[in-house]
Each structure stands twice: as structure tokens, then as C-alpha cells.
Structure 1
Amino acid sequence: MAMLPQALLLVLLFHTGVASSSSIINNLPGFFGDLPFKLETGYVGVGDLDEVQLFYYFAESEGSPEHDPLMLWLSGGPGCSGFHAFVYGSVGSLSFDYTESSYNKPKLKLNPYSYTKVANVIFLDAPVGTGFSYAKTWKGYTNMSATSYAAQTYQFLKKWFLDHPKFLNNPLYIGAESYSGIVLPIVVKEISDGNEEGDEPPMNLKGYVLGNAGCDSKKDMSYTVPFSHLKALISDELYQSTKRNCNENYTDVDPSNELCLDDMELVNECVKDINPAHILEPKCTYSSPNHLSNKHSVNLLLPFSQLPRQWCRKDNYIFSEVWANDKAVQNALHIREGSIKEWVRCNRSLSASYIHDVSSSLVYHEYLIKKGYRVLVYSGDQDMMVPYLGTIDWIESLNLNVTFPWKPWLVNGQVAGYRVQYTYEKYHLTFTTIKGAGHVAPEYKPEECLAMVRRWFAYDPL
């Protein structure tokens, strides 16, 4: 057998060594004692020669890991780390303890309303450049798009299952929030087609979950005006005028249509100081520890609750960037030394190279109807980024049959939201609002959202 050239041998050895790796995490800085749940982190190589290394957090179900569903969760952005869902979105097992934390010393606590109470959940840093995911060459960062993001996610899952074959029989669901609602049905189609074509390993795909998720960018944006009218952010007079003068087209306004332009300017003036993620919460600029210190001249070692400041949800996000950039934390998570310069919760610089090659995922939903999957779609009803009206519109465009009409569902005897169920043969889609929630609904209403997924996974009515 001919010997391989030394340079090629080194490449192959490196490729083999980092294709996939995982570690069980027993302790984390900021959390007192051992973790009372099983947490795994790792990398899975995808793409040519595994040049893209996708990082993940995997939390086993706190119920029955061998029987409970397995869910792959995709955060929004594109470019927001799976860690956001893990600690802020109330999907994961931990959250920051704001009462006990200072900005320089974040503390963690258990999340009593985690989806991991009822499911095994993989939180993925995707696409590449998100969170701790990285590429071994600059080529790996180029030409990233919705379709390549979906293809790499499917490749990730196939390799992850090869390393975790005991979960192959668990019901598999794909979950996504915000922008990743565009990518999710493409991933589901890849899995579904792969199963039909005999790809290994076969996956026990049962359905998917969409939370405040985009589907069609034009539809989502076009419902900002009707949503603003329903929420009394614009007057009825202005709404009727805008509706008439713009012919209900609020996204592609004809530059020569001065009446519509004037109305839209008034609409924008009414909503520009509203927080689009949750219209009832303060609108704030994003802070950093240095910015906060300069602005308030405060000691960042003080407990978070004692800082003299207006409460702002975005200030909570600083904790993740302080925590995840701590070398002790990165060592505990088994992050590869030198793989990234700085961890950010949401990598906004991805937008410079990211190709938005799919503006609407509606065609994929239409395709998946024939496959008979279960689908849960939920929307925080105070979210103006992806208004629930737009979500209802694209669902109704699928021409499904309404099997259970719009009705309230309860948690602790109180209305938690309103739901409607659609079917087409074996395909079942449940849409629900989460009353009082904003974008990334579990972040605002964690107890209600856990009740929702618990019932849905169990095939119980909401």
C-alpha cells in the first residue's frame, strides 16, 4: 500500500480528530454544586472536509430521557446562539439569577419551566460564526445562506445520531424561533426526503415547532400596520387612510404614491419609539458592561437588583457575554482554544456575508402537508417583529380544514392564550397565541409555554 504524503496525512489526522467530539459537563462556573441534569457539549464537523465545526449544548430530559421526544432547537438571527434559548428563552435548564448576580459575576440557577422537563433538547449554534461554532478555513464562512444553513443542520443531525444511537427511536421534532422559521421547514424537508431515500441513520421524525417564527418576510412586515391599529398604536383614521392609499401594500410602496408615503411616515412616527419585541416593555439600546458603567457611574460588583437604572430586558443579555467569555467557563464547556475571538450572543456581522436566498418558506410548508406531520405554531400576542396576524395569514393560505375553532386555553385557571387546530388528512397543525408574551414567547411567559408543549407532546388538548 502506497504511503500517503506527510502533508495529506496531517490533514486527514486533523480532520478525523475534530470531526466530532463531546463532553459531559458536571459543573459550571456561576452554578453552585453539581448540575442536577445531564448536560453535554460538543462539536460536529460538517461541510467539505468537516471545515465547519458546529457547537451544541445537549440537555437530556429531566423526565424519561429514553422515551421523551428529542428536539433540535434553532435560535433566530441568523446568528443568535443556542445559548440564548438555553438561558433566556426558557427552553433550557438554566437561567441567570438576577437577584444574586453582579454584572461582573453572573450567577446561574435552575429554570423550573424548561422544555427539558418533557423533552431531550439539542441547542445548536448555527449557522457557522454563531456562538462557539467556527470554520477551520475562511472558505467555511463564505456563501452562507438559508439553504446551506439547512443542509449543514441536516448533516449535523445525521452525525449526531451516529454518536448517540440510543435516541434514534425517540420521537424527533425540530423547533425554531424568529428568523430560523425560514430555515426550519427546509431542514424538515431534508430529513423527510432523506428518510424516504434511505439515508442513514433513519430518523423518527414526527413534526416541528415554530415560535414567533418568520415564514414570509413580506407577510410579516405587511402586518405591522394592522397590528399597530389593533393595539391602538395608530388611530383608526390613520389606519383607514393608510389602508386605502397604500392599497394594503405596506412593504413595496410605489415612490410616486405620495399619499401612501405620507401615511406611512405618520405610522412610523407613531411606532418608532415602541419596542417591537414586546410593545408593552421599554425600548432600549443594547448595553455592554462598559457602556452601563459609563452611563450610570456605578460599581458593577453591586448586585444586579441594586443598580440605579430603568429596567430593560436587553440589559439581562449582558450576563451571557460576560459569562461565556470567561476562560473558566470556556474551559468548563470544553471550547477549543483559539477557535473564536470573542463570544457574542447574536453575531450581527453575519448579515454582511449571509445570503437571504429564501424570503418565504411557504412552499416548504405546502410540501410537508402531504407528509402528515404534527405542527405546533405559537405567537406572543405582543410581538410586533413577527405579528401573529401574519402567522395566521400564512397558515390560512395553506387551505387546511379547521377541526377545532378559536378558543381560549387555560393555565392555573387563567386564560393563557387562544388556539385553533387545522388538519389535512394526517397532517395536524395547532396555532396558539401566548397572552401577554412578546418575541421569543417563553422568555416572557415560561410557565404557560411549558404547559403548552407538555400538553402538545402528550397529544393532549391545550
Structure 2
Amino acid sequence: MATERKKGYLFFVIVIYFFSFSLPSFISGAPHQQELDRIESLPGQPTVNFSQFSGYVKVNQKHGRSLFYWLTEASIDPATKPLILWLNGGPGCSSIAYGASEEIGPFRINKTGSKLYLNKYSWNREANILFLESPAGVGFSYSNTSSDLKDSGDERTARDALIFLLRWFERFPQYKHRDFYIAGESYAGHYVPQLAKKIHDHNKVSSKPFINLKGFLVGNAVIDNQYDNIGTVTYWWSHAIISDATYQSIRSLCNFTGTSNTPACDHAINYAMNHEFGNIDQYNIYTPSCAMPSDMSFNRSRRLKNILLRGRVYGYDPCTENYAEKYFNRLDVQRAMHANLTGIPYKWTACSDVLIKSWKDSQFSMLPTYKELIAAGLRIWVFSGDTDSVVPVTATRFSLNHLKLPVKTRWYPWYSGNEVGGWTEVYHGLTFATVRGAGHEVPLFQPKRAFRLFRSFLAGKELPKS
């Protein structure tokens, strides 16, 4: 009997020992779920030497809010490279439609939405890039509570993004202590510093889990309603888009200090857009505009008219958006990306008109948040494509000037190759740079210059003077 008990005990130990190597992924859920999120290959994708993952992270159990992500690991030595979270703005526009598919991601989509081809200046040459569709209702991200789509705003977006990160790091523990940066553009000028503040506040009160946030990078960013709007109208006038009379009319009728404009101010802005702008692409005033179907043209016009009327800026809408909508609505693409698992009752779109029309809270000025994060010692870079009339370089300069930061390195031209890439000024606590010839989506219009800027940001070095 004693011998039999020993044999039984030995067998039990062997079984436990064997399963200890195979069960943790099922017990903890994290490594197992990470592997389930692995993308084997996307339809029409060329051969690549980096790993990709995508899937959902639930951020609110009660309401059933889940955010969709796509991770493209670094193409060289990903284990030593930092992690970058990329956010697009809107509010209500997809980082997969824009950041991943037109700007900094490894792939571009052909005109028919049937094939992918490589982006020579993909940022995953230097970092692991995590694209997030945020908030719920954007792209593949969803909520089981329909009212969530009608009362989104800055605060909940930042809170859900923090929860997403904490849970994502549990699923991808290899990134937990990695240098971490946040980047984005346009209305992500709110999302990025607001999330950075959430992380900073979280780290102050909780040592675990700690997010190793090092800094952030934002382009053509919405910063301060008053100064942004004055700077935008000034850009229109200084670039001969509107007349002297209309410029004076807007400046006299609109003070931009409140959350809404007077009817007279709205009329002046409408007159400029309807009678003086002409058929230009406001996101890059020197490039041809895309010939779009009439319904898409109407939606785009409606977004543009809200630039100043409601103090918010909406996503870029070139023809490449059409290619993304063709590709990401394909069932084989959704299966490969583990997307739309619940059968979302609407088509995937680059921007959500529901969110655009029903945004509830929008921080009037990000300048106090900038001051707090500068004091916290984060690396902060702000850049501007200088041919964008939606959140133009003058708007950004007017806003940043009110931070009253001491100058560390005076204004100078920086170089990409043998050409001037733009101009820059380095302050104590913040670097500002322009990108010459770039529109609202800087990496779309000037990919090489944007990549050079990104490399300098990661290295913590000033942009090259020659």
C-alpha cells in the first residue's frame, strides 16, 4: 500500500510538472491571448520580417466597450526598440485608416483595395507601433451600449485609453517596462497629452502596474480653441485663400473665447468657405483635391464647416481613405485581423459621423496640461506641416507662444538629405518643428522628412542643421 501511494504521488508530481510548462498561458490568459491575436498574414500582403498582432481589449465590462488595436512590431530587433502608441483624432477617426494605412504604418493599400505594398518610410523601422481605434464607435472598436456612441468626450476617451493600456500590457508583458511614447495628430492634440496626464497621475499613485512613459509627439495639433482659431483665420488670409474684407469681418465678429460662436460669426465663416475657398483640399492647399462621389463630398464639406463653427477639427479625407474603406470592409481581412467578431451592425468607416455630431466634452485649452507635463520632465515635440489650412502652423505657433517658454536653441532651418526639411526652435521643455511642404497628415505628404523628424525625437537630439 505504501509503495502504491508513493507511485500515485510520483505520478501526480509528474503530471503537475508536465502541465506547469503548458498551462500557464491558459491559467493567466495573457500569453495565450497574445498568440490568438497574432496575424499570420493579411490578404494581399507582401512578405515581411516582423510580427503583427491585432484584436480587442475590453475597457468597460458593464457597457461592453471594447477597443481594437493593431501592433506592428519593429522590423529590426524589436526586443530592444521602444513602443509607440499612435492615435488619430477627429474626434471619431480611425488610426488604422489614417496612421496605419496612409502615414506611418508598414503598408499602403492599392486603389482597388485588393493588395498591400510596403511603405519605405514606415516608423516600425525604428520602433514597435501600436495603433488604437479610440474611442468606442471608431472603426472596429465598439460598445454594446448604444448610448455610449452619443455621449463620448475627452474625459472618457482618456480614461478608456488608460484602461486599455493597463490591460494590453498584461497581455503583452514583454512590453511592460519598455520605453513608451504616445504620438498622434489633429484632434489627438487633445487625446495624446490627456492620456499622458492620465498615465502620469496613475504612476504617481500606483507603483504597479507602472507605465514607462518617456514623452509624446503631436502633429498639426488642436491645442487651444481661442489661439488656434485666430491662427487659422490668419493663415487663410496670409495665404490668399480669403479676402481682406472677409478676414476683417471674421476678426471683428468672432472673438473665439467661448464654446460657441454668434450667428454673425458663423455667417462670416460660412461665407468664406462657400464663396472664397474654392475647390481646394484644405488639408494641403497646394495639392489637387480628390474627385469624390457626391455623398462623400457632402460629408467632407460638412466636416470642414465645423472647423471653426464648433471649435473642433476633423480628419483628413483624401482618396486614400476610399482604398482603406474597401480593404477593411473585406470579410477575409476582418477574419485575418480578428476584427468585427460581434457583427457590428454598420460598415467600417474611416470616421464616425455619429461621434463627430455628438461629442460632449472638449477641453478648451491644452496649455495647462502642457505646462504640467513639461514640469514632469517628459520629452515633448510638436510639429506642423506648413501647407495645412485646417490646423495650420500659425495656429500652433500662436498657441505655443502663450506657454512663454524660454528659448534654448533659436529658430533655424533643419535638413533632410540635402534639402531644408523645415524650421525648428527648441525651448526649455518643448521642441517645435515645421515640416516643409507637408499638409495636415505630415507623414503622408512628406514621408522622408517625417521619418527624419521621428528618428530625432526618439534619439532625443535636435534636428540636423546640415
Normalised by the length of structure 2, the TM-score is: 0.81
CA contact (8 A) 2:100 2:131 kept: no
In the alignment, structure 1 residue 162 sits paired with structure 2 residue 170:
yes
What is the aligned partner in structure 1 of residue 433 from structure 2? Answer: 432
- The one of 85, 102, 107 aligned to 1:94: 107
What is the aligned partner in structure 1 of residue 17 from structure 2? Answer: none
- Cα deviation, 1:159-212, whole Å, max 9, x if unaligned, reads 111111211222111112111211221111110011110153101111111011
* Alignment partners' CA distance in 2, 1:198 and 1:457: 26
In the alignment, structure 1 residue 273 sits paired with structure 2 residue 279:
yes
CA contact (8 A) 1:55 1:132 kept: yes
Q: CA deviation at 1:232?
A: 2.6
* Alignment partners' CA distance in 1, 2:355 and 2:168: 25
* Alignment partners' CA distance in 2, 1:385 and 1:244: 17
* Alignment partners' CA distance in 2, 1:325 and 1:261: 39
- RMSD value over aligned CA atoms? 3.0
* Alignment partners' CA distance in 2, 1:93 and 1:358: 33
- The one of 129, 133, 136 aligned to 1:125: 133
Give the secondary structure class of the aligned counterpart of 1:113: coil
In the alignment, structure 1 residue 186 sits paired with structure 2 residue 204:
no
CA contact (8 A) 1:182 1:359 kept: no
What is the aligned partner in structure 2 of residue 77 from structure 1? Answer: 90
* Alignment partners' CA distance in 2, 1:272 and 1:200: 55
* Alignment partners' CA distance in 2, 1:186 and 1:88: 25
CA contact (8 A) 1:220 1:390 kept: yes
* Alignment partners' CA distance in 2, 1:372 and 1:23: 35
* Alignment partners' CA distance in 1, 2:33 and 2:150: 22
Question: Which consecutive unaligned segments of at least 5 residues does structure 2 have?
Answer: 1-28, 298-315
**Pair 149,250 (structure 1): closer, same or farther in 2 beyond 3 Å:** closer
**Pair 266,446 (structure 1): closer, same or farther in 2 beyond 3 Å:** closer
Q: CA deviation at 1:138?
A: 2.8
Q: CA deviation at 1:284?
A: 4.5
What is the aligned partner in structure 2 of residue 320 from structure 1? Answer: 324
In the alignment, structure 1 residue 362 sits paired with structure 2 residue 367:
yes
- The one of 399, 402, 406 aligned to 2:407: 402
In the alignment, structure 1 residue 452 sits paired with structure 2 residue 459:
no
* Alignment partners' CA distance in 2, 1:130 and 1:253: 28
CA contact (8 A) 1:142 1:353 kept: yes
Aligned residues: 413
Give the secondary structure class of the aligned counterpart of 2:318: helix
Q: CA deviation at 1:74?
A: 0.8
Give the secondary structure class of the aligned counterpart of 1:184: helix
**Pair 249,65 (structure 1): closer, same or farther in 2 beyond 3 Å:** same
Give the secondary structure class of the aligned counterpart of 2:78: coil
Q: Please give the residue correspondences for 1:326-365 in structure 2 after superposition, counting only pairs within 5 Å.
A: 326-341=330-345, 342-365=347-370
Greater helix content: 2
CA contact (8 A) 2:150 2:355 kept: no
What is the aligned partner in structure 2 of residue 31 from structure 1? Answer: 45
- Cα deviation, 1:318-346, whole Å, max 9, x if unaligned, reads 11111111111111111243431311111
Q: CA deviation at 1:150?
A: 0.3
* Alignment partners' CA distance in 1, 2:433 and 2:406: 16
Equivalent AA in structure 2 for residue 269 of structure 1:
H
What is the aligned partner in structure 2 of residue 68 from structure 1? Answer: 81
Normalised by the length of structure 1, the TM-score is: 0.81
Equivalent AA in structure 2 for residue 40 of structure 1:
F
Give the secondary structure class of the aligned counterpart of 2:56: strand
Q: CA deviation at 1:279?
A: 0.8
Question: Which consecutive unaligned segments of at least 5 residues does structure 1 have?
Answer: 1-15, 293-311
Give the secondary structure class of the aligned counterpart of 1:343: coil
* Alignment partners' CA distance in 1, 2:293 and 2:263: 36
**Pair 389,268 (structure 1): closer, same or farther in 2 beyond 3 Å:** farther
Q: CA deviation at 1:76?
A: 1.4
* Alignment partners' CA distance in 2, 1:145 and 1:291: 25
Q: CA deviation at 1:373?
A: 0.7
* Alignment partners' CA distance in 1, 2:283 and 2:433: 18
What is the aligned partner in structure 2 of residue 10 from structure 1? Answer: none
